[in-house]
Structure 1
Amino acid sequence: MEPQPPSQADGTQSPALGAPVPAASLPIARVVLETPVPHLDRTFDYLVTAELDRDAQPGVRVRVRFGGRRLNGYLVERVQHPEAGVKPIPLTSVVSAERVLAPTALALAHAVAERYAGTVADVLRAVVVPRVAKVEREGPGVPLTGPERPEPGLWTVEERGPEFLEELFEGAAPRAVLSVTPNGGDGWAQRLAIAAATTAAGGRGAIVVVPDARDVGRLSAALEPLVGESGFARLTADDGPTARYRSFLRVLRGEVKIVIGTRNAAFAPVRDLGLLAMWDDHDSSHVEPRAPYHHAREVFLLRATLEGSGALFSSAARSAEAQRLVLTGWARQLSAPRAVLRDAAPLVRASSDDFEAQRDPVLHAARLPRIAWEVAKKALLSGPVLVQVARKGFLPSLRCQDCREPARCTACTGPLALTSANGDPVCRWCGTYARGFTCPICSGHRLRASVVGADRTAEELGRAFPGVPVVRSTGADSVLSVPGAPALVISTPGVEPLAEGGYAAVLLLDADAQLAPEGLRVGEDTLHRWFSAASLARGRSEGGVVILTGHPSPQGQALVRWDPAGAAERELAERSQVRLPPAIRYATLEGAAAAADAFAEDMVDAAPVRRVGPTPGEDEGEHRWILFFDHAHGAKTTELLRRRKALGSLRRDPMVRVRVDDPQGL
């Protein structure tokens, strides 16, 4: 049954015998319900009885009756009188007297919901950590004193880096985009730890958000020497519900000033916030996979504005969105002088340049060009060599040897792969073996590799360099670190281990395969992977070398020059010319054809948008529309999207899924 608002009356009836006794002061509670229904995205009035008066305070979790059901919600305000014409029914119960929803967090939830055309209830799932009752019974701890101010450390490498720290310590709100100078290891973690500790030493709070649990671990290791093991809180689902809720309560109660964690740590209820810092804002892990699909970077931008805090976006490369912050003047740029960067960064050589092409006549056909083999052989005399490959597995993608058509399963049309040298082709989707393959295009029976995986690469390099240890780091089988002894480290993007003292060389294979997919951000994504891996090499002054294979590309040229800011600026300029994000904003509408078409038509009539589509949606009978709009019209357009969603919900139209500024949507 569709939920209905609390019962209404004309206010003329006398209270029934035995009616609940209202609280003496501010007897009306305004409650946000935990429901995804768009047209219920508002507060509802309930009566606070004298019995619940003490515990029913703004910010607590409550249970209420609504439309014949019991729902959870948050009490957000106590007032003296209900809305006109409403006779509130009593709150059912107060789930916990812990005031878990701070006013600043509620304001941020409203801002995020407006930014992404979502509901406040959806955002609150990310704002408030799920409750663990036994943790609340442990009681509050003792607030920690601020740490001593740390030395600037690696921040002295960047121009104006010490000035940025000084502003944080003095209570200002500096905002910067930092291209981290490579040091062959986790210099980014040390910089962010120093910035957070400096902010806390000045008496204010700091939040640092990183893409995943590996990065949380590295940041923890960098913070502990500065503030102690108990001097910061971790907010990440990988720590488990009990530890996560305990950390949340420590922050909520003001017992700790520094929070580190993954994307939803951006909402942490830190008091007197001074710094919002993020590592690698381009990483897709920063995007919430549930509605309203917010990006932690945008949450930080909204929060910095609402609370007047400083902000720092740092990465080995630079996203187009971060570069836009610099060009619009919202943030300053921090980077090392060119002379310093030249020595700190490794020497990057492209196997496709004219000189190497003349030296190696079979360069176009070799997966491991001559220069890569020579560099690896020399580097293995002094340390480990990192080899980045595009995919895990043995041969994760196959084609017909004769016509080059992708090999697909006859049962489900999924891609065929080889899991070992002596195995049969198998479908990656349904697991069906394709013994006796026949190409439906040319009737050929032979297969060739489209992409070579990490397992096959490890096998090939193991034969090429006998006696050298081979380490594999892929997906769930990732390795955190390796010693500084000679070894071949085969890794897929994003899980490259740290090497003690840095890698003697880094080989970036499969460059063409990484650039081959279609999509707005393919080139940008690939360049981020290359910079991240190349940053793990030793500096040029220590003999560190990076070899990039594949054909020439603008991304490869940016890596050779070690110019992440220039690459981001060119990317942004090209998108501005053709009016694509982030130069403008956009939303996608996807749902049943008639409902999606009507939604798009209504938006074109009401808002200054450019409509593109329709194209087929994910499911049969669905349409997908794209609406482009300027930043200047962003607030108006997202508000109209929210209102149109609520109208469709009220009319019980088929659901239309709305996503705003989806990084992977184009």
Structure 2
Amino acid sequence: MTTPAPIARVMVDSPLPQLDRLFDYAVPAAMASDVAPGVRVRVPLRSAGRIADGFVIEVVTEIDYTGVLSELEAVVSTASVLAPEVVALARAVADRAAGTANDVIRLAVPKRQVRVEKVWLAGQADGTSAAAEADPVTPADVAAYPADRLARAIAGGEKHAVDAVPRVVALPDGRQVGHWATTMAAAATHALASGGSAILSVPDYRDQEQLIAALEAVLPASRIVHLDARQSNPDRYRAHLDCLGETPLAIVGNRSVVYAPAARLALIALWDDGDPLHAEPLSPYVHTRDAALVRQQQQGCALFFLGHSRSTEVERLVEIGYLGTLGPARNYSPKIVPTAQQAPQDRYAAIARIPSTAWREAKTALETGPVLVQVARPGFAPRLACDSCGQSARCGHCDGPLGTKTSGSVPACTWCGKPAAAWTCGNCEGTRLRQVGQGTVRTAEDLGRAFPGVRVIIADGDRPLLHVDDAPALVVATRGAEPLAAGGYHAVLLLDGERMLARESLRVGEDCLRWWANAAALAKPGAPVVLVGVGGALATALATWRPQSYAAAELVDRRRLRFPPAIRVATVTGTADTVEKALASIAGLTGADVLGPLDTDAGVRAIVRFDYSQGAAVATALRAEIIRAATVRRKRVPGKSIPLALPTLKVRFDDIEPFIE
């Protein structure tokens, strides 16, 4: 009996939405031994005789098509770098967001590095790549949580919102990390000991450093893989290849690590899912949290969302019973001291622009150790205004706000960086500027005068700093850039609360609570954390260390207003014609309503709001319109050789940008 010829089903690497499907190609006999799911190939396309790259998704012997198939052009590499579980995840999240699986796979699979790949293939051939199997893993527990609770949750594939302990702890080698990092590391040891891998996603490099340090304290180095977009291309590709093996690993990275290959996945853990760095800026714009939820459902692993505060998205999942809650066995709340922004009585407090209560707490703490001062913005004066009329000074090139980074420096645009030495007010034609607000540099100068003889340290985007010692010092840092202090800060001052809350955004309340809670967690046990100039529900939630209560109240308001995450939203942007047709495709769906459309700089935009139960139907309808808009043909203009531009339609799901201002 003749063996049927193999047929490769290939996903072509193309951004065109109409090509987001599998194409069938005959496998030449000379390539049959090299073609397998996950390998890179080159294939012919019928249009203009082009050759395209792609991945083999599966190899079959029968298909419905009865005609003659084109043959594969070449096998680029025999390395199977696209894992089946990643293909399934890419397809699912793309369908959920009306995107293409190709776009997700570009995030998941790094660019090929030939030398790295050859070394890996050689290791696969001689068996040296499996050497890590000899390194044993001993499960570690975290004393702050009920005994064996993490282990049971992982073994049972449970899903939880985990309340992190607000502490800084010292590792055996003396390095300082947040307690949350040791919790994630301990959870990873249980996952690996059970024979499965753990994917651990954190927002940025600061968190990655802490988590890797915590992992190195409880796991062999061969069981830890760092997979991050900041790595060099060879290092990232090498890490990706390491994840393809059979050895259970702890895979650490930022948002794209959720797409790392891990066939026997036992745990996905996300730290601080409310951080905007978890939001993917590339199409199809799927948040790390949503990708993790889809992957957990597909592979049945445990799922943890850790944080000092709780996002409204996680709170919604808790309230509907999809997530459980897991907290420490006893109360670890920091000592929060809310205080109004009253006129300081002490002349030094007046110089430092802080209430006398905060000044006294800082003065006492500086006798024994460092004090953290959190401010809203970097630079000297984050914003400048016209001295005559008070209108904000704007850049003449891009209309961005003007600011100064140091005392006496030339004003410059905070967006494009262009200097504005000859600035003129567009409102009153004034030429004099006055400073509005205080950044890290100006605050450091003020505090230096208020606390003479005390060392002042600045930590912000221009001066990144990860750690400080336990000697007395004033550490002035922007939100998210706070360094860790050995043993914790002896006091924490949270300034500029009113300025942070003045930002117009749907998430401003939960963002501020997250910033303040993360800073408060850097204090040593019993040290005062002074919240300046903020009252109401936010101050109460922080003072009682019940941030989930604020998230719950916020969610009640969002339900009343039909704002995300109580419902889902999608923005539809394009020409007036394409947007109109896209909206018409979902007009009959129950529970879907439209805000707009309206004209924007990017074109006509409408916001579609819909219930979660209608998500699949809305995504399917809008994806069909995206493909239709991309494939429509326009007639050439008589006498011109260049055709009219094809219409564009852009759809972004779960986009909260329209709710920012």
TM-score of the superposition, structure 2-length normalised? 0.90
The residue identity in structure 2 corresponding to 1:148 is V
Contact 2:202 2:253 in 1 (8 A): yes
User: Closer, same or farther in 2 for the Cα pair 1:58/1:432, shift >3 Å?
Assistant: closer
The 3-state SS of whatever aligns with 2:99 is coil
Indicate the RMSD between aligned Cα atoms, in angstroms: 2.4
Aligned-pair CA distance for 1:516: 0.8
Q: What's 2:481 paired with?
A: 495
Partner Cα separation in structure 2 for residue 414 and residue 488 of structure 1: 32
Once the two structures are TM-superposed, the CA of residue 599 in structure 1 deviates from its matched residue by: 2.2
- Asked if residue 176 in structure 1 is aligned to residue 165 in structure 2, the reply is no
Deviations 1:542-598 (A, max 9, x none): xx1111112424222211221111111111111111111111101001123332233
Q: Would you say the 8 A contact 1:164–1:174 is kept in 2?
A: no
Matched, 1:282 2:274: yes
In structure 2, the partner of 1:346 is 334
Q: Contact conserved, 1:208 with 1:261, CA < 8 A, in 2?
A: yes
Amino acid at match of 1:180: A
Residue in structure 1 matching 2:247, options 255, 265, 268 = 255
Aligned-residue offset at 1:301: 0.5
In the TM superposition, 1:587-602 aligns within 5 A as 587-602=570-585
Quick one: structure 1 residues 478 and 431, their matched pair in 2 at CA, closer, same or farther if it must change by over 3 Å? closer
Distance 1:256 1:136, change over 3 A: farther
2:212 match: 220
Query: Could you tell me how far apart the structure 1 residues matched to 2:219 and 2:579 are?
Result: 53
Shift of 1:416: 1.8
User: Conserved in 2, the CA contact under 8 Å of 1:390 and 1:513?
Assistant: yes
- For residues 266-308 of structure 1, the C-alpha deviation after alignment (integer angstroms, 9 at most, x for no partner) is 1111122111111111111112211001111111101111111
1:42 equivalent to 2:26? Answer no
Q: 1:512 to 1:448 in 2, by over 3 A?
A: farther
Q: Is residue 452 of structure 1 aligned with residue 438 of structure 2?
A: yes
Quote the offset at 1:489 in angstroms: 0.8
Checking the alignment, whether the CA contact within 8 Å between 1:183 and 1:345 is kept in structure 2 is no
- The answer (yes or no) to whether the contact 1:147–1:197 under 8 Å persists in 2 is no
Pick closer, same or farther for the CA change 1:411–1:97 going to 2, 3 Å. Answer: closer
Identity %: 40
2:138 equivalent to 1:149? yes
Task: Note if 1:374 corresponds to 2:360.
Answer: yes
The answer (yes or no) to whether the contact 2:164–2:308 under 8 Å persists in 1 is: yes
- Determine helix, strand or coil for the equivalent of 1:78: strand
CA contact (8 A) 1:147 1:226 kept: no
Q: How does 1:72-83 map to 2 (within 5 A)?
A: 72-83=53-64
Q: For the Cα contact (< 8 Å) 2:159–2:324, is it kept in 1?
A: yes
Q: Report what 2:321 is aligned to.
A: 329
Q: Which amino acid aligns with 1:119?
A: T
**Aligned counterpart, 2:197:** 205
Structure 2 vs 1, CA of residues 640 and 161 (structure 1 numbering), >3 Å: closer, same or farther?
farther
Task: Write the distance in 1 (CA, Å) between the matches of 2:69 and 2:243.
Answer: 34
3-state secondary structure, aligned to 2:562? coil
Alpha-carbon offset, residue 665 of structure 1: 4.2
CA–CA separation in structure 2 for the residues paired with 1:239 and 1:443: 49
Indicate how the Cα distance of structure 1 residues 578 and 161 shifts in structure 2: closer, same or farther if over 3 A, else same.
farther
> Residue deviations 1:189-242, cap 9 Å, x none?
000000001111122221111111221121111111211111121111223221
Deviation beyond 6 Å, 4+ runs, structure 1 = 356-366
| CA distance, structure 2, for counterparts of residue 553 and residue 113 of structure 1 | 41
Conserved 8 A contact 1:189-1:219: yes
Distance 1:104 1:411, change over 3 A: closer
- What TM-score, normalized by structure 1, do the two folds share? 0.89
Cα displacement string for residues 7-47 of structure 1 (whole angstroms, at most 9, x for unaligned residues): xxxxxxxxxxxxxxxx9544211111111111111111111
Residues in 2 aligned to 1:358 and 1:59: alpha-carbon distance in whole angstroms: 66
Structure 1 contact 351–357 (Cα < 8 Å) conserved:
no
Question: How many angstroms apart in 2 are the aligned matches of 1:430 and 1:76?
Answer: 44
The residue number in structure 2 matching 1:640 is 621
SS of structure 2 residue aligned to 1:659: strand
Q: Quote the residue 1:134 is aligned against.
A: 115
The answer for the alignment partner of 1:3 in structure 2 is none
- SS of match in other structure, 1:626: strand
Counterpart Cα distance in 1 of 2:447 and 2:348: 18
Aligned partner of 2:320: which letter?
Answer: T
Aligned length: 628
Q: Does residue 627 of the first structure (1) align with residue 611 of the second (2)?
A: no
Does the residue aligned with 2:133 lie in a helix, a strand or coil? coil
Q: Which residue of 2 aligns with 1:272?
A: 264
Matching residue of 1:115: 96
What residue is the counterpart of 1:532 in the other structure? 518
Aligned to 2:504: 518
Of stretches 380-389 and 398-407 in structure 1, the one that deviates more from structure 2 is 398-407
Q: Give 1:550's aligned residue.
A: 533
TM-aligned CA distance change 1:89 to 1:447, over 3 Å: same
Rounded Cα–Cα distance in structure 2 between residues aligned with 1:209 and 1:124: 18
Conserved 8 A contact 2:226-2:239: yes
**C-alpha contact (below 8 Å) 1:386/1:506 kept by paired residues:** yes
Q: Judging changes above 3 Å, is the alpha-carbon distance between structure 1 residues 433 and 563 closer, same or farther for their aligned structure 2 residues?
A: same
Aligned residues of 2:423 and 2:431 also touching (Cα < 8 A): yes
Corresponding residue to 2:548 among 565, 588, 600: 565
What displacement does 1:352 show? 1.2
The answer to whether residue 151 in structure 2 is matched with residue 165 in structure 1 is yes
Give the letter aligned to residue 336 of structure 2. V
Cα 1:303–1:364, aligned 2, differ >3 Å: closer, same or farther?
A: farther
* Residues 161, 334 of structure 1: 8 Å contact kept: no
Farther-moved stretch of structure 1 (561-570 vs 312-321): 561-570
Q: Please say if residues 179 and 564 of structure 1, whose CA atoms lie closer than 8 Å, have aligned partners that are also in contact.
A: no
The question of 1:408 aligning with 2:394 is answered yes
Change in Cα spacing, 1:221 to 1:430, as seen in structure 2 (3 Å) is closer
Unaligned runs of 5+ in 2: 169-176, 634-645
1:62 aligns with 2:41: yes
* 629 and 265 in structure 1: CA distance in 2 versus 1, 3 angstrom threshold: same
CA distance in 2, matches of 1:606, 1:657: 20
CA displacement, residues 126-181 of structure 1 (integer Å, 9 cap, x when unaligned): 2222211111211231242463333313xx323x463232342xx32121111112
1:249: how far off? 1.2
**Aligned pair in 2 of structure 1 residues 414, 268: CA closer, same or farther (>3 Å)?**
closer
| Distance 1:526-1:175 versus aligned 2 partners, 3 A rule | same
1:248–1:179 Cα change, 3 Å:
same
Give the distance between the partners of 1:440 and 1:126, measured in 2 at CA.
Answer: 44
Map of 1:392 onto structure 2: 378
Determine helix, strand or coil for the equivalent of 2:554.
helix
Q: 1:61: how far off?
A: 0.9
Q: Which residue does the alignment assign to 1:610?
A: 593
Structure 2: how far apart are the matches of 1:585 and 1:364? 47
**Quick one: distance in 2 between partners of 1:495 and 1:600?**
42
| Shift in Å, 1:49 | 0.5
Separation in structure 2 between the aligned mates of residue 114 and residue 502 of structure 1, nearest angstrom: 45
SS at match of 2:216: helix
Output the CA distance in 2 between the equivalents of 1:610 and 1:580. Answer: 12
SS in 1 for 2:82: coil
Match of residue 9 from structure 1: none
> Which residue does the alignment assign to 1:657?
650
Structure 1 range deviating more: 447-456 or 313-322: 447-456
8 Å CA contact retained: 2:395, 2:413: yes
Contact 2:591/2:614 (8 A) holds in 1: yes
- Is the aligned partner of 1:428 residue 2:414? yes
| 1:113 partner letter | A
Change in Cα spacing, 1:631 to 1:537, as seen in structure 2 (3 Å) is: same
SS in 1 for 2:18: helix
Aligned letter for 2:57?
V
Q: Please give the alpha-carbon distance, in whole angstroms, between the structure 1 residues aligned to 2:379 and 2:423.
A: 20
Alpha-carbon distance in structure 1 between the residues aligned to 2:455 and 2:545: 30
Aligned residue type for 2:533: G
Tell me if the contact between 1:503 and 1:536 (Cα under 8 Å) persists in the aligned partners: yes
